Amino acid sequence: MVNALTIDVEDYYQVSAFESVVNRAKWSQYESRVEKNTQRILDFLEACQVKATFFVLGWVAERHPTLVKTIHKMGHEVASHGYSHRRIYTQTPEQFREETKQSKQILEDLIGEKVVGYRAASYSITKKSLWALDTLIEEGFLYDSSIFPVWHDLYGIPNSSRFPYIIRRNGGSIREYPLSTIKLCGMTAPFGGGGYLRLFPPFVTKWAIKRLNHKEKQMSIVYFHPWEVDPEQPRIKGSAFSKFRHYVNLDKMESTLISLLHDFQFAPIRDLNPSFLSISDVISYEGND
């Protein structure tokens, strides 16, 4: 079973956990660490001979064009993480279309290839923003990986499909790769990315991936961010909860990731076998927006 390895390329001061204390207009005043941290990830992926999907923020791509070219040249998939890292349901459909087009164009100009994959800032395709799927279809995206089938304060569509599926809309269809979850005692629990990956000991994540791969015969979708392999990053003064969410176990992340790369097979989303797709949950998406 091949699992998906995905990296959301953004800097430590751009995350949703700190958006109430970091003014977007002042982003450029923060020390930039995204290039160095992403290079570190590229190095250990190279050492482990693994390719991944990098969802790159347009704002970062504009300021670090060489980084985007390097990711592409090293054989990884370059996909879009939007432009501004504003959650979709805080934007109007017009704003969303404009920034989606803009960020796609920036990436395509840099790599000289079509960008077909999308992941929303903070997984913000929810029932309030299903209209974004229509925009993605119209703008030429073939897949999305933004829907978390869980309850969470910032994201999630509880009870949506836990496995890759096709979403049909009036204007066409798009493949959805939902973030990984495990069913425990009737509850759907997230694992395999970001804070969850840092919070749980590696054996728990490995147990969950094995369970998904072998018992449910499904791939997992692992995700993380360049700032998560950077324990030295400057500290931002946020709420205790935000600080916990952002800083817990940063020093252990790289070894956790390398251990996962050692134990499981990974590939970029573009290379995954589409026979895993089902259309089981499409019906529940129609008419919800």
Residue closer to Zn ion, measured from CB, 155 or 266: 155
Residue closer to Zn ion, measured from CB, 13 or 285: 13
Residue closer to Zn ion, measured from CB, 17 or 208: 17
Residue 229 Cβ, how far from Zn ion at the closest point, in Å?
A: 15
Residue 172 to residue 176: CA distance in whole angstroms: 13
Residue closer to Zn ion, measured from CB, 10 or 99: 10
Residue 175 Cβ, how far from Zn ion at the closest point, in Å?
A: 20
> What dihedral angle (degrees, nearest 10) is formed by the CA atoms of 246, 247, 251, 254?
0
Residue 181 Cβ, how far from Zn ion at the closest point, in Å?
A: 19
Residue 10 Cβ, how far from Zn ion at the closest point, in Å?
A: 5
Residue 81 to residue 54: CA distance in whole angstroms: 9
Residue closer to Zn ion, measured from CB, 121 or 219: 121
Residue 188: C-alpha distances to residues 45, 130, 220, 281 (Å): 30, 21, 14, 16
CB 159 within 8 A of CB 152: no
Residue 48 Cβ, how far from Zn ion at the closest point, in Å?
A: 23
Residue 35 to residue 139: CA distance in whole angstroms: 28
Residue closer to Zn ion, measured from CB, 146 or 169: 146
Structure token digits, residue 210: 């094995």
Residue closer to Zn ion, measured from CB, 156 or 285: 156
Structure token digits, residue 251: 């020093």
How many other CB atoms are there within 10 angstroms of residue 17's CB atom? 21
Residue 8 Cβ, how far from Zn ion at the closest point, in Å?
A: 4
Residue closer to Zn ion, measured from CB, 10 or 281: 10
Question: Packing angle between helix 65-73 and helix 93-111, nearest 10 degrees?
Answer: 60
Residue 146 Cβ, how far from Zn ion at the closest point, in Å?
A: 10
Give the CB-nearest residue to Zn ion: 8
The site for Zn ion (CB under 5 A) is made up of 8, 10, 121
How many other CB atoms are there within 10 angstroms of residue 258's CB atom? 16
SS (H, E, C) 202-257: HHHHHHHHHHHHHHCCCCCEEEECHHHHCCCCCCCCCCHHHHHHHHCCHHHHHHHH
Residue 123: C-alpha distances to residues 25, 120, 126, 222, 268 (Å): 22, 5, 8, 14, 18
Residue 264 to residue 210: CA distance in whole angstroms: 9
Residue 34 Cβ, how far from Zn ion at the closest point, in Å?
A: 11
